[in-house]
Chain A
């Protein structure tokens, strides 16, 4: 029984870059002492990655760990594995002050794909894309709402927003990616 649906049902638009809602993704807020041995072990077990350094995202296939703040990570797993991962993290961190919360259903995920992907995002986010490092996750705003994104491929960004504003974010991306709106036309 597949009762779980993403906010926009995977809608996509094609402009000078392609924008799409990427569907459900397992996401877990993990707060605690990022330097502790238990934390490192727990993250490794959950994602196969190290605890990311400040503003970094460590990716491992369909799993990953992103640095959100000095005491918070975002753990990425396939949607179906979120509940089990929450339990595993809880168990692994038992006895140490921490917080684990499944936020898979509180988020929407988008991809912005194409050689000029950053040209769509630079209309919305006060971020210097030229100095954005490989493997960096940037928490910022997209127009009027909170968002986070990282480079998820050679010509691709993955952007995460709150679920309730998914329609708004898709509206922003669609209009920003419309043909003719290339910021640096060839």
Chain B
């Protein structure tokens, strides 16, 4: 039962107010993409034991999607940030690197 702070409204939301949306920062592949690209977009998901970036929606609150970086093993939350982000903010990445020196980094 996580608590994630919604960056859109600032509520420290109980997991029961949230809806999980899977891996963050996927790149959509539409018509014109190769089978491999589409397969990767549609089906291949990271499942790390450790640092992970996820999509969450504050479904019972402000209704906005946001992104969260957390450790799947310890459930430590490194930070949340708006969904309108192509990749994790640099300062968040630096913070994670500091806390998890062995983290291979985003991507």
Chain A residues with a Cβ under 8 A of chain B: 54-55, 68-70, 72, 126, 138-141, 146
Contacts A72-B63, A139-B62 given; 20 further ones with Cβ under 8 A? Answer: A54-B9, A55-B9, A55-B10, A55-B11, A68-B62, A68-B63, A69-B9, A69-B62, A70-B8, A70-B9, A70-B62, A70-B64, A72-B62, A126-B14, A139-B9, A139-B61, A140-B17, A140-B61, A141-B17, A146-B60
Q: Quick one: closest A residue to B82, CB to CB? A: A70
Q: Which residues of A contact B63 (CB under 8 A)?
A: 68-69, 72
Q: Quick one: closest B residue to A142, CB to CB? A: B60
CA distance A146 to B57 in the complex (A): 14
Q: Quick one: closest A residue to B14, CB to CB? A: A126
> Can you report 16 A-B residue pairs in the complex whose CB atoms are below 8 A from each other?
A55-B9, A55-B10, A55-B11, A68-B63, A69-B8, A69-B9, A69-B63, A69-B64, A70-B8, A70-B64, A126-B14, A126-B16, A139-B61, A139-B62, A140-B60, A141-B17
Dominant SS at the B interface? Answer: loop
Q: Quick one: closest B residue to A139, CB to CB? A: B61
CA distance A96 to B63 in the complex (A): 23
Contact (Cβ within 8 A) A141 B16: yes
Q: Which residues of B contact A146 (CB under 8 A)?
A: 60
Q: Which residues of A contact B9 (CB under 8 A)?
A: 54-55, 69-70, 139
In angstroms, how far is the closest chain B Cβ from the Cβ of A177? 22
Q: Which residues of B contact A69 (CB under 8 A)?
A: 8-9, 62-64
Contact of A126 among B8, B10, B17, B62 (CB under 8 A): B17
Q: Which residues of A contact B10 (CB under 8 A)?
A: 54-55
Q: Which residues of B contact A139 (CB under 8 A)?
A: 9, 60-62
Q: Quick one: closest B residue to A126, CB to CB? A: B14
Q: Quick one: closest A residue to B63, CB to CB? A: A69
CA distance A72 to B17 in the complex (A): 19
Q: Which residues of B contact A126 (CB under 8 A)?
A: 14, 16-17
CA distance A55 to B11 in the complex (A): 9
Contacting A at CB under 8 A, from B41-73, are 60-64
CA distance A69 to B62 in the complex (A): 5
Q: Which residues of B contact A55 (CB under 8 A)?
A: 9-11
| Chain B 1-28 per-residue mask, 1 if CB under 8 angstroms from chain A, else 0 | 0000000111100101100000000000
Pick the most buried of A54, A55, A68, A139: most chain B CB atoms within 10 A of its CB.
A139
Q: Which residues of A contact B62 (CB under 8 A)?
A: 68-70, 72, 139
